[in-house]
Amino acid sequence: MSKSVVILLSGGLDSTTLLHHLRRLSPGLVLHALTMHYGQKHARETVCAAWQAAAAQVRAHHLVDLACLGQITAHGSTLTGRRPVPAMSEIREDQLDQPPTYVPNRNLVFLSLAAAYAEAHGIDEVFYAAQQQDFYGYWDCTKAFQEKLNSLLGLNRRAPVTVRAPFADLDKAAVLKIGVAAEVDYAHTWTCYRGGELACGVCPACVERLAAFQRVGLPDPLAYE
């Protein structure tokens, strides 16, 4: 029987790269992709996720309605709340470990649901595309986070699920290089935090993405405002 894994696929640069990287490493791998819709300001990412899931020939792609996370955290985040997403230049240095775009506990909520899905389907690995971010220090993208979560999930002796973050030591440019090798079509990814027709180019996510393309020496195929 072929090995099956679950992958958290947002439709952004990192998770799309991970998806195609896994497919490239292991053509027979059975992939179950979960995309969380949690009340972001737009659905652009989820459309890209569906496109990429099809391109990577996943066995199943589930769009998970997690609007409740947006409702629960609207108070604390510009990604799910009413306040506008700031430009990178508006973020103070002392906010970098937890900028206004941080969604409280998002990764643990996503990974808990992914582990529930994995356990219910007899799958023992969940992949997510945490990477060593260039500008931020999100606590829930660290190796310590991954290790402690795996220690917790290991208590489930009947069905221990292991979370894997193979990009945890890489920065975004290194991730992008892997994606270029895997022939990822980045025109079908979405990174911008704002909800415009074109990517804004100034929000923290756009700035980080553009810097990665620049460092790798490639043009970003997305159109920017």
Q: Which is nearer to a second copy, 103 or 176 (CB)?
A: 103
115 binds a second copy (CB under 8 A): yes
The site that binds a second copy (CB under 8 A) totals a number of residues, namely: 46
CB of 163 to a second copy, least distance (A): 11
> Binding segment for a second copy among 7-15, 84-92, 154-162, 167-175 (CB under 8 A)?
154-162
d(Cα 99, Cα 79) in Å, to the nearest integer? 10
143 binds a second copy (CB under 8 A): no
Query: Counting Cβ atoms within 10 Å, is residue 219 exposed (0-12), middle (13-18) or buried (19+)?
Result: exposed
Q: 64's torsion region: left (phi>0), alpha (psi -120 to 50) or beta? A: beta
**Angle at CA 34, nearest 5°, toward 30 and 36?**
170
**Quick one: DSSP state of residue 122?**
T
Each residue 74-93 as x (binds a second copy by CB under 8 A) or -, in order, gives xxxx----------------
Single-letter code of the amino acid located at 41: K
> Binding segment for a second copy among 43-51, 84-92, 156-164, 176-184 (CB under 8 A)?
156-164
Cβ proximity of 104 and 70 under 8 Å: no
Q: Which of 3, 57, 59, 68 binds a second copy (CB under 8 A)?
A: 68
Q: Which of 4, 132, 133, 142 binds a second copy (CB under 8 A)?
A: 142
> Of all residues in the chain, what percent are helix, strand and coil, respectively (each to 5)?
40, 10, 45
Q: Which is nearer to a second copy, 47 or 108 (CB)?
A: 108
CB atoms within 10 A of CB 184: 23
Task: Give the interface with a second copy as residue ranges (CB under 8 A).
Answer: 62, 64-69, 71-77, 97-98, 103-106, 108-109, 112-113, 115-117, 119-121, 139-140, 142, 144-145, 148-149, 151-153, 155-159, 161
